[in-house]
């Protein structure tokens, strides 16, 4: 089982990988916090694949829930819950995370590059350092270690994180639209495996 994760109120969600999940307010219900946690745990082999998921947004639902807490889909009158998240939806999350990581990494390297060039400019530009090999070496090393780390963190974790999220999110939106068209094209069009028939019961109070 996974240990409970610390959660910081309404702040941005922190995933196990340390990536920041920004709030989104668009028409796409992917990915709810609970679904994302499920898929991450699934990819680590910490959780079984099957369960009960909203038939629309695939957020995990407990057996007694009659309505999705994330998108509001009714289990009885709307899309029936499914017993596993469709592979294609899981692939969407993998692509999203891959895009986000690529942007964070790219900007982190840019920050490192700036520290390398900036440090050289500093050492070569200051006459006292230019004539002092030891002093120049120590200064350059400090700029690389401290400045490089700071610049990589600021650019990667700030600009790269934001840019990566926006790129990944806009692609996810178009993938979701395509997915909806295919899913709603007809029965058996790939909406996941419907859960087994359940006896009728009164909806949640």
Binding residues for Zn ion, per CB under 5 A?
Answer: 54, 56-57, 59, 68, 70-71, 73
Q: Which is nearer to Zn ion, 71 or 110 (CB)?
A: 71
Q: Name the minimum Å distance from CB 115 to Zn ion.
A: 45
To Zn ion, the closest distance from the beta carbon of 137 in angstroms equals 59
Q: By C-beta, is 75 or 136 nearer to Zn ion?
A: 75
Which pair of tokens denotes residue 88?
């294609």
d(CA 35, CA 75): 17
Structure tokens at 58: 């695939």
User: How many angstroms from the chain centroid is the CA of residue 165?
Assistant: 8
Please report how close the Cβ of residue 198 comes to Zn ion at its closest, in angstroms.
17
In the complex with Zn ion, the residue whose CB is nearer, 36 or 73, is 73
CA distance 185 to 176: 14
Going by C-beta distance under 8 Å and a sequence separation of 6 or more, which residues neighbour residue 183?
Answer: 189, 190, 191
**In the complex, what is the shortest distance from the CB of residue 61 to Zn ion, in angstroms, rounded to a whole number?**
8
Question: What is each CA distance from 198 to 62, 63, 79, 195, in whole angstroms?
Answer: 13, 10, 14, 8
Q: In the bound complex, what is the minimum distance in angstroms from residue 182's beta carbon to Zn ion?
A: 18
Whether the bond between 31 and the residue before it is cis, its omega within 30 degrees of 0, is yes
DSSP H/E element including 115: helix 87-125
Select 60 or 148, whichever has its Cβ closest to Zn ion.
Answer: 60
Helix (H) or strand (E) holding 21: strand 20-21
Task: Pick the closer one to Zn ion by CB: 68 or 155.
Answer: 68
């Amino acid at each position: 089982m996974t240990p409970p994760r610390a959660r910081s109120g309404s702040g941005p969600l922190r995933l196990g990988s340390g990536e920041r999940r920004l709030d989104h307010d668009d028409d796409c219900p992917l990915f709810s916090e609970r679904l994302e946690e499920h898929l991450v745990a699934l990819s680590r082999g910490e959780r079984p694949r099957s369960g009960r998921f909203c038939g629309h947004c695939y957020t995990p639902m407990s057996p007694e829930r009659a309505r999705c807490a994330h998108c509001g889909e009714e289990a009885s009158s709307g899309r029936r819950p499914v017993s596993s998240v469709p592979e294609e939806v899981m692939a969407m999350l993998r692509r999203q995370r891959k895009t986000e990581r690529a942007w964070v990494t790219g900007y982190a390297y840019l920050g490192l590059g700036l520290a390398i060039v900036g440090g050289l400019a500093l050492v070569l530009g200051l006459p006292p350092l230019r004539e002092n090999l030891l002093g120049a070496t120590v200064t350059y090393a400090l700029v690389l270690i401290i400045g490089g780390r700071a610049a990589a963190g600021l650019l990667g974790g700030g600009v790269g994180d934001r840019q990566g999220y926006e790129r990944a999110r806009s692609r996810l939106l178009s993938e979701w639209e395509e997915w909806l068209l295919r899913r709603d094209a007809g029965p058996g069009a790939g909406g996941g495996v419907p859960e087994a028939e359940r006896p009728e019961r009164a909806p949640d109070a």
